[in-house]
Amino acid sequence: MGRLPLEGVRVADLTHFWAGPAATARLAELGAEVWKIESPSAWDNGRTLIHQPGAPTPWESSYWFEAWHHDKKSVSLDLAQPRGRELFLDLVQHCDVVIENFRADVLDKLGIGWDVLRAVKPSLIVVSMAAFGKEGPDAALVGFGPVVELMSGLVSMTGYGDGEPYRAGVAYGDPVAGMAAVTAISLALLRRHRTGEGAIIDLAQRETTAAMAGEAFVAASLEGAEPVHHGNRSPRFAPQGCYRARPSRTELGTTRDEQWLVVSCRDDADWQALAAVLERLDLADLDVDARRARHDELDGLIGAWVAARSAQGAMEALQAVGVPAGRVLDSGAVLDDPHLLGRGFWVHVPHPRMRRHKQFAPTWRMAEADLQLRRHAPLFGEHNAEVLGGVLGLSEDELAELTEAGIIADAPINPGVG
Amino acid sequence: MNSHGADGPLPLEGVRVLEVGGGIAAAFAGHELAGFGAEVVRAELPVRVPLTRHEEVYLVAGKRRVEVDAAQLRALALEADIVVEDRRPGELAALGLAPADLRTAKPELVVVSMTPFGQDGPYAQFETTNIVSFAMGGIMSVTGSPYHPPLVTGGSQAQYLGGLNGAAAAVTAYLGRVLGGEGDWVDISLQECAVANMELYASGTAYGDQVQLRMGNQVRPVWSIYPCGDRWAGVFCLQRQIPALFEVVGDPELDDPRFIDPLRRLEHAEELTAKLYVFFAEHEPAEILELGARHHVPFGVALTPRDLLEVDGLAARDYFEDLATPEGPARVPGRPFPGLGWHQGDLHEAGADTDAVLADWLGAAAERRGR
């Protein structure tokens, strides 16, 4: 197997929660050495996002933290103390990339703003990823994925048609910004390889999210168009909808009541195949305008057919005749999905504080580079000695003094906060 | 041409990209590569679901567009540094462009394949549209109202997520080639790109939590959207931001353990929701944003794309680009992030660049055919 694409790249990772950690998780998978640097008193509150009653060290045993921090190294360092800041800047000299997703004003308040970082190492690549950018008229606005999604236009484009807009059920702006940051870092590394120059990338999560619907801006600028809510229907494909299937039984014998199937007819051929399955060949000649005009009636026919079947069985029957159809896989069904299982998407990495559970594999399958989860998320401050001692040459006595001063730690100083 | 704080060459200047596809995923990946300086050639092949005109304007501008036969396509692929494609698994091989064969002929080539379910597995040949990919990607199960069916989001997010991954993979694999000498073939499944982003839910259920279905907009009073003037606005607060929120709302009754304590707040959710309804109803969207900025409260307003074209915070950052189209001047999102430059290219007609590209890329070969 070939080398990993980011082998030899070192990242100082100051990010918290999701957008930033999603980016650096990908970098770690791709071979970069990622140092997750947190203050013992102002650590990533994503660690305790999940309530874990009775867990002895909940800050390092949650599935959330594991999902986004495997293959990283943990260094605790209080950046608000002068000695902590100084050590951070020493570490930066050994890094290619610094990435942070603090609120726009925080990096400067810590005394490690762009100018300071670039003065330490001019070839550094710095990625800031505040919701609205670190600079600009909206920099003072704060927010996470749902706010980003609202302010990017996407929420305004989603709804059942009763006027109320809907956001995605996940903090969608976060992983989109995270993946964009991966692109940014690889591009900046390429440019640095050619020219030697570093980069300051003021990524705004709103902007990476709005770029995911550029056609809506074309419509708005050319035609003054405002979003129209179609529910699950489509302005192009008809019929299209989400239909309730028969409840299914799980392996444990419990009933999963809500089972849904989406069906989407791209063209006349799809509709003719669907009409045959529905045993309504009398309707097979309807063109798309007629299908749209009679959409309620067709929904009734499809709904009745789906309701008599399992979602999986209905999907397979429609796919067998070439009609686009798919289950609305829920958080349990994705774990049992034959295709994801067949692709080896669910893997397991042993963790000293966690039960075995299904974890998702890297989403890029590379033929040469062997991308895989290699090691569990680090324990808090697990790599303090390796990084501060091994890279900066601090002695055991010095590390003990830092611990004494609360600048480094192997557990959060205030584990109840967050 | 090169703005946004970056001088000198664009990061992908001199990099040749062949886009073979027709769907949103390959087109979006190619769009990003073109903006960052690559020379992107888009081969127009027959597709069952072509891009809409609005998608074409956004995603195809900045590319040279060719109509070529299979032999020419293979020759172009071997002249490229990166091939991005979203054809059905097996179709490239049928055209004589099997990625493994291309890479045998040219080991430094990077090929990125974006397909609904990846190159292998039981669903690899399944038919999809965006809603099918979104449903099979899991995010739909947590999106929408519990009183209505699960809901697909606006635009074509499942397909864009594939392209977003494809662009990142193309650039990263190309970097790997520059540093290590060898290219790669990246197999990207749109389904996996979405399932990996199910936030708390897939990992949570894998760890023993209940299956979580859609909760609608009113997840919790402080994680919700409300009517506000002629728009909808939202508040999405972590516990540490609750004091600032309550101060902004200004209702003295909120200064009470039943609202401040996170567990007791759940028991009094209806009362708090009612108060927030009143708060949002009594303010205009612009006031909400101003209060959020001043007090560090995560407020947002459901802006429409038309609103965003007028937002100072985007104009001041030079986010949008002007693009001439036969229908008139369009404004489109430009660089996804600043700092590395961006080039907004023109919109070409399908096939307009066939001769020029064959001459540029294939040179002597084209001359032999008498062009």
Does residue B332 belong to the interface with chain A, where contact is any CB pair within 8 Å?
Answer: yes
ipTM: 0.97
In this complex, do A212 and B120 lie within 8 Å of one another by their Cβ atoms?
no
pLDDT-derived band at B7 (thresholds 50, 70, 90) equals: low
Mutate to test the interface with A, among B203, B237, B240, B320 (most CBs of A within 10 A): B203
Cβ count near A394 (within 10 Å): 20
Helix, coil or strand: residue B230: coil
Q: Which amino acid is at B318?
A: D
| Span A368-381, average pLDDT | 97
In this complex, do B217 and A170 lie within 8 Å of one another by their Cβ atoms?
no
Q: Tokens 């080039």 sit at which residue?
A: B343
Cα dihedral B328→B334→B340→B342 (10° resolution): -20
Closest chain B residue by Cα to residue A245: B149
Instruction: Count chain A–chain B contacts defined by CB atoms under 8 A.
Output: 513
Rounded CA gap, A396 and A379, in Å? 19
**CA of A88 vs chain B CAs: smallest distance (Å):** 24
Does residue A151 belong to the interface with chain B, where contact is any CB pair within 8 Å?
Answer: yes
Q: Give, as one character, the DSSP assignment of residue B220.
A: B
| Token pair listed for B200 | 């708390």
A96 neighbors A189 (Cβ within 8 angstroms): yes
Does residue A415 belong to the interface with chain B, where contact is any CB pair within 8 Å?
Answer: no
Please tell me which of the candidates A67, A197, A264 has its beta carbon nearest to residue B131.
A264
Rounded CA gap, B23 and B38, in Å? 20
| Token pair listed for A269 | 């051929």
| Token pair listed for B246 | 């309550």
In this complex, do B225 and A165 lie within 8 Å of one another by their Cβ atoms?
yes
Cβ count near A64 (within 10 Å): 21
| Token pair listed for A237 | 């494909």
Number of helices followed by number of strands (H, E) in chain A: 17, 14
Closest chain B residue by Cα to residue A242: B149
Rounded CA gap, A37 and A166, in Å? 36
**pLDDT higher than threshold 70 for residue A253:** no
| Span A338-346, average pLDDT | 98
Using a CB-CB cut-off of 8 Å, the residues of chain A touching B285 are none
Closest chain B residue by Cα to residue A185: B172
- pLDDT, residue A250, reads 61
| Lowest mean pLDDT segment, chosen from A249-253, A363-367, A395-399, B195-199 | A249-253
Burial A1-33 (b: 16+ CB within 10 A, else e): ebbbbbeebbbbbbbbbbbbbbbbbbbbbbbbb
Cβ count near A408 (within 10 Å): 25
**CA of B16 vs chain A CAs: smallest distance (Å):** 15
A266 neighbors B130 (Cβ within 8 angstroms): no
Rounded CA gap, B317 and A132, in Å? 10
| Span B332-361, average pLDDT | 97
Cα–chain-centroid distance for residue A137?
27
Using a CB-CB cut-off of 8 Å, the residues of chain B touching A139 are 313
| Token pair listed for B253 | 């009754």
Rounded CA gap, A364 and B115, in Å? 12
Does residue B244 belong to the interface with chain A, where contact is any CB pair within 8 Å?
Answer: no
Helix, coil or strand: residue B189: strand
Rounded CA gap, A263 and B247, in Å? 48
Residues A50-70: tens digit of each pLDDT: 989 899 999 999 999 999 999
**pLDDT higher than threshold 90 for residue A336:** yes
Rounded CA gap, A156 and A138, in Å? 19
Looking at chain A from residue 77 to 96, which residues have their Cβ under 8 Å from any Cβ of chain B? none
Rounded CA gap, B342 and B109, in Å? 24
DSSP string, A282-320: GGTT--HHHHHHTHHHHHHHHHHHHHTSBHHHHHHHHHH
- pLDDT, residue B1, reads 36
In this complex, do B214 and A169 lie within 8 Å of one another by their Cβ atoms?
yes
Q: Which amino acid is at A33?
A: E
Residues A8-39: tens digit of each pLDDT: 999 999 999 999 999 999 999 999 999 999 99
- A73 Cβ partners below 8 Å, 6+ apart? A33, A34, A35, A36, A378, A382, A383, A386, A387
In this complex, do B11 and A187 lie within 8 Å of one another by their Cβ atoms?
yes
Does residue A148 belong to the interface with chain B, where contact is any CB pair within 8 Å?
Answer: yes
Rounded CA gap, A58 and B300, in Å? 31
| Span A280-293, average pLDDT | 98
Q: Residue A348: which region, alpha, beta or left (left: phi > 0; alpha: psi -120 to 50)?
A: beta
- pLDDT, residue B263, reads 86
Mutate to test the interface with B, among A229, A266, A330, A414 (most CBs of B within 10 A): A330
**CA of A395 vs chain B CAs: smallest distance (Å):** 35
**CA of A249 vs chain B CAs: smallest distance (Å):** 14
- pLDDT, residue A254, reads 55
Mutate to test the interface with A, among B136, B143, B331 (most CBs of A within 10 A): B136
- Write a three-state SS string for B264-302: HHHHCHHHHHHHHHHHHHCCCHHHHHHHHHHHCCCEEEC
| Span A167-182, average pLDDT | 97
Please tell me which of the candidates A331, A345, A365 has its beta carbon nearest to residue B201.
A331
Between strands B16-20 and B82-85, the pairing is parallel
Helix, coil or strand: residue B21: coil
Does residue A345 belong to the interface with chain B, where contact is any CB pair within 8 Å?
Answer: yes
In this complex, do A343 and B333 lie within 8 Å of one another by their Cβ atoms?
no
Please tell me which of the candidates B123, B149, B306 has its beta carbon nearest to residue A242.
B149
Cβ count near B312 (within 10 Å): 10
- pLDDT, residue B364, reads 58
- Write a three-state SS string for B29-59: HHHHHHHCCCEEEEECCCCCCCCCHHHHHHH
Please tell me which of the candidates A150, A240, A329 has its beta carbon nearest to residue B131.
A240
Highest mean pLDDT among A237-251, A340-354, B257-271: A340-354
**pLDDT higher than threshold 90 for residue B4:** no
In this complex, do A339 and B121 lie within 8 Å of one another by their Cβ atoms?
yes
A129, HSE (Cβ side, Cα atoms, 13 Å) = 37
**pLDDT higher than threshold 50 for residue A418:** no
| Token pair listed for B187 | 């197999």
Q: Rounded mean pLDDT of chain A?
A: 96
In this complex, do A264 and B129 lie within 8 Å of one another by their Cβ atoms?
yes
| Span B51-75, average pLDDT | 97
A245 neighbors A307 (Cβ within 8 angstroms): yes
**pLDDT higher than threshold 50 for residue B371:** no
Helix, coil or strand: residue A143: coil
In this complex, do B203 and A64 lie within 8 Å of one another by their Cβ atoms?
yes
Between A248 and A134, residue with greater pLDDT: A134
Looking at chain A from residue 301 to 340, which residues have their Cβ under 8 Å from any Cβ of chain B? 319, 322-335, 337-340
Strand partners, A243: A261
Q: What is the pTM of this model?
A: 0.97
**pLDDT higher than threshold 70 for residue B369:** no
Q: Give, as one character, the DSSP assignment of residue A321.
A: T
| Span B180-197, average pLDDT | 97
Rounded CA gap, B110 and B185, in Å? 6
Q: Where are the alpha helices (DSSP H) in A93-213?
A: 106-109, 114-120, 145-151, 173-195, 205-210
Rounded CA gap, A230 and B136, in Å? 20
Does residue A297 belong to the interface with chain B, where contact is any CB pair within 8 Å?
Answer: no
In this complex, do A150 and B225 lie within 8 Å of one another by their Cβ atoms?
yes
Residues A105-163: tens digit of each pLDDT: 999 999 999 999 999 999 999 999 999 999 999 999 998 889 999 999 999 999 999 99
A83 neighbors A405 (Cβ within 8 angstroms): yes
- A92 Cβ partners below 8 Å, 6+ apart? A12, A98, A117, A120, A121, A124
Strand partners, B184: B110
The verdict on whether omega for the bond into residue A239 sits within 30 degrees of 0, i.e. cis, is: yes
Distances (CA, A) of B303 to A156, B103, B143: 6, 46, 19
Instruction: Please give the sequence-ordered ranges of beta strands (E in DSSP) within chain B, or none if there are none.
Output: 16-20, 39-43, 64-66, 82-85, 110-115, 184-189, 223-228, 231-236, 299-301, 320-325, 328-333
Q: At what angle do helices B157-180 and A173-195 cross, to 10 degrees?
A: 20
Using a CB-CB cut-off of 8 Å, the residues of chain B touching A232 are 131, 149, 151-152
| Span B60-87, average pLDDT | 97
Mutate to test the interface with A, among B13, B57, B207 (most CBs of A within 10 A): B207
B248 neighbors B177 (Cβ within 8 angstroms): no
Share of chain B above pLDDT 90, in %: 92
Looking at chain B from residue 255 to 314, which residues have their Cβ under 8 Å from any Cβ of chain A? 289, 292-294, 296-309, 311-314
How buried is residue A399: exposed, middle or buried, by Cβ count under 10 Å (0-12/13-18/19+)?
A: middle
B68 neighbors B354 (Cβ within 8 angstroms): yes
Looking at chain A from residue 249 to 288, which residues have their Cβ under 8 Å from any Cβ of chain B? 256, 258, 260-262, 264, 266-267, 270
Looking at chain B from residue 30 to 69, which residues have their Cβ under 8 Å from any Cβ of chain A? 31-32, 36, 48-49, 52, 54-55, 57-59
In this complex, do A339 and B305 lie within 8 Å of one another by their Cβ atoms?
no
Using a CB-CB cut-off of 8 Å, the residues of chain A touching B182 are 2-3, 368
- pLDDT, residue A184, reads 98
Rounded CA gap, A234 and A239, in Å? 8
pLDDT-derived band at B2 (thresholds 50, 70, 90) equals: very low
